Amino acid sequence: MKVREILALKGSVIFSIDPEQSLRDGVHAMAENDVGSLMCLESGRLVGVLSFREVMRAIRNHGADWGWVNIAEVMAPNPPTATMGMDVDELRRLMLETRVRYLPVVDNGVLAGVISFHDIAKAVLKEQGQENEMLKAYIHDIPQAAAH
């Protein structure tokens, strides 16, 4: 299974924010859209990722003033990215090695989507279910004489 297939299943809606906005704005956007990350875009270009991890770190480091910190100060800059043609095993390996739960997908220099561990699990489960149904159909269609 390839990244393009996972994006086709989940859709390519991208939730983003300007890194000059406040962390309070970022937390509000994440909660409002029920997402665990925001892509930080500057003039349409990916410059970082804001996830729950960065929010928690900012709360720890800035105390009661966390909400007024600029996202640019706390986002994960220059995040690792996936490509449309990456295989799911390569994708999982990259996510594990870089310790990220949300991976931006870039296609010809343009942000095309975001894939999470949840998206991968859901896509793999669906693919395994389809393979299982195909095997059951194959086994069911074997003539009884050939089975003996």
Domain layout of the chain by residue ranges: 3-147
Spatial separation of the C-alpha atoms in residues 131 and 148, rounded to whole Å: 25
Predicted pLDDT at 90:
94
* SS3 call for 108: coil
Q: Which fold has domain 3-147?
A: CBS-domain (3.10.580)
16-71 pLDDT tens trace: 999 999 999 999 999 999 999 999 999 989 999 999 999 999 999 999 999 999 99
Q: Is the pLDDT of residue 79 over 70?
A: yes
**Is the distance from CB of 27 to CB of 67 less than 8 angstroms?**
yes
More confident residue, 92 or 126: 92
Q: Report the candidate in 105, 1, 98, 2 with the shortest Cα–Cα distance to residue 53.
A: 98
Angle between helices 117-140 and 88-98 (to 10 degrees): 150
